[in-house]
Every structure is written in structure tokens, then in C-alpha cells.
């Protein structure tokens, strides 16, 4: 795993953006935007009866570094991993800043 001072790898950046390619995962991130939630709360709010489907998506988000998990008793709670969002934001800002092309001007 990368340290905060190192440059993110292409695989880490791609993994984070790939995790955002599924609407259900984006919905999960929206729910976690304001508070930490357990799987049962996420299932209820998303209207998903089976947590195994959600578990797959949470695993993808966790592996991409977008969410953190912690266990309390028998429950696992999820929250946003904001430093990874900063990495993605910086990547896009650097890309925009170093791009030689300017936006097209209206005629």
C-alpha cells in the first residue's frame, strides 16, 4: 500500500475511478458522506434485501481505498476514506493543469 508521501500508482488511481463506475457504489458513498453506517443500515437505506450483493460492492470500495471499515462486536461499520478522495482530486487537478490543450472557445 502506498504512503501519504509517495505518488499514487496508475493501478491505484484506476482502481479508485473504477469503483465509481457502478451506480450502487456511488449511492453507498453518498450515504456515507455524512455518517458512518453498518451494512444493515446501508441495506435498509438502499432497499437491498440481501447483504451479499452489497458486500461485494463494499469490498470493491474498500480495496479502492474509498471506504474504511471497522468492526464493533458483530457489526462492521463503514465510513469514507477522505484522503483517497484527495488523491483522486489532486490527480485530476494535475492532469488539468499540465494538459497542453485549452478548452475550445465558442465561435
Here the CATH number for the domain that contains residue 61 is: 1.10.10.10
Q: Give yes or no for residue 101 having a pLDDT over 70.
A: no
Grid coordinates in use for 98?
A: 499540465
In terms of phi and psi (left: phi > 0; alpha: psi -120 to 50; beta: otherwise), the region of 28 is alpha
Residue whose C-alpha is closest to residue 20's, from 74, 75, 91: 91
pLDDT for residue 3: 46
5-53: pLDDT as tens digits = 467 788 889 999 999 999 999 999 999 999 999 999 999 999 997 778 8
pLDDT at residue number 46:
94
Is 50 exceeded by the pLDDT of residue 66?
Answer: yes
Q: Which residues contact 9 (CB under 8 A, 6 or more apart)?
A: 2
The residue whose grid cell reads 492532469 is 95
Give me the domain span that covers residue 26. 10-86
73 sits in the region (left: phi over 0; alpha: psi -120 to 50; else beta) called left
Residue 63 maps to a domain: yes
Amino acid at each position: 500500500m502506498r504512503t501519504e508521501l509517495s505518488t499514487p500508482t496508475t493501478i491505484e488511481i484506476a482502481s479508485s475511478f473504477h469503483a465509481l463506475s457502478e451506480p450502487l457504489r456511488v449511492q453507498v458513498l453518498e450515504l456515507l458522506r455524512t455518517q458512518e453506517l453498518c451494512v444493515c443500515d446501508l441495506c435498509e437505506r438502499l432497499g437491498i434485501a440481501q447483504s451479499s450483493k452489497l458486500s461485494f460492492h463494499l469490498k470493491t470500495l474498500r480495496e479502492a481505498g474509498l471506504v474504511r471499515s471497522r468492526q464493533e462486536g458483530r457489526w462492521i461499520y463503514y465510513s469514507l476514506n477522505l484522503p483517497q478522495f484527495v488523491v483522486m482530486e489532486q490527480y485530476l487537478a494535475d492532469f488539468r493543469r499540465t494538459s497542453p490543450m485549452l478548452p475550445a472557445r465558442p465561435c
